[in-house]
Amino acid sequence: VPELLEVERYRLLAEAGLHREIADVVVDDPHCLVAPSDPTTLQAVLVGRAFTAARRRGKLLMLDTAELTLGLRFGMTGTLMVDDRPGVDGLVYSPGLDERWVRWRLRFADGGAMALHDPRRLARVGLAPDEEALGPDALTLTLGQLRTALGSRVPGPPLKARLLDQAKVAGIGNLLADEILWRAGLAPGRPCGSLSGPEVSRLQRHVRATLPQLAARGGSHTGDLMAERHPGGRCRRDGTALRRDTVGGRTTWWCPAHQR
Ligand SMILES: [Zn+2]
């Protein structure tokens, strides 16, 4: 599943598509289009222009032209390709790359292309994405931003559910949330408004440290908890049998001994 770390790699790849004139927009699968939902309008506003910046907020990739912003969301299995290079070698839950699964592509006047590859058809392309509906980006999350995101209302929703709420913090998905909470020693079902000042600081330090570390290792599936996310899995810190619960509607693995 492309999480923040994967989308950041797509963003870096998309920089290879900046300042190149767009010659054509080909929509192989109109299902991926939102606002506008017709290929003709998208073509009319993009052809003859060039992207000037590739930005990211959470899992939303934004490509700016001088006049407008194109937003790309990658769903469960979306991959960005530029000049036939994929943004990631292969996602954990995604089969390999296949021409049949290209949903949308741009041809540059110089002969190259940018394409969205997505087997499960959950990725979306649209103009003027609502960037402000997203919370602060997790990669640069400050202590003050995390305090605001968690709130002080007691009990508040479960801590993990709040971290997954993209309107509160943008970019943390299921695997990253479990990894961060395991490292920080905080129980996923704990009410988010119940954390002490030192606990909020600890959580913020682990958000900021975990993301670059996993990025360097190759993605959100490279966490220390990953290999133990199965029945019989044990905590690598203390050997305790991990628990599997549903928190915030998502499968959650956690250690009942050191996560409090
Ligand atoms: Zn443990």
pLDDT in tens, 128-178: 999 999 999 999 999 999 999 999 888 889 999 999 999 999 999 999 999
- In the reported structure, the alpha carbon of residue 260 is separated from the centroid of ligand 1 by a whole-number distance in angstroms of 10
pLDDT (mean) for 238-255: 97
**pTM score, whole prediction:** 0.87
Residue 95 is predicted with a pLDDT of 52
Residue 96 is predicted with a pLDDT of 58
- In the reported structure, the alpha carbon of residue 164 is separated from the centroid of ligand 1 by a whole-number distance in angstroms of 22
- In the reported structure, the alpha carbon of residue 4 is separated from the centroid of ligand 1 by a whole-number distance in angstroms of 26
Q: Which residues of 196-229 are buried (b: 16+ CB within 10 A; e: fewer)?
A: eeebbebbbebbbebbeebbeeebbbbbbbbebb
For residue 111, pLDDT over 90 is answered with yes
- In the reported structure, the alpha carbon of residue 11 is separated from the centroid of ligand 1 by a whole-number distance in angstroms of 35
- 1 falls in which pLDDT band (50, 70, 90)? confident
- In the reported structure, the alpha carbon of residue 254 is separated from the centroid of ligand 1 by a whole-number distance in angstroms of 8
- In the reported structure, the alpha carbon of residue 235 is separated from the centroid of ligand 1 by a whole-number distance in angstroms of 5
Mean confidence (pLDDT) of the chain: 93
- 27 falls in which pLDDT band (50, 70, 90)? very high
- In the reported structure, the alpha carbon of residue 37 is separated from the centroid of ligand 1 by a whole-number distance in angstroms of 48
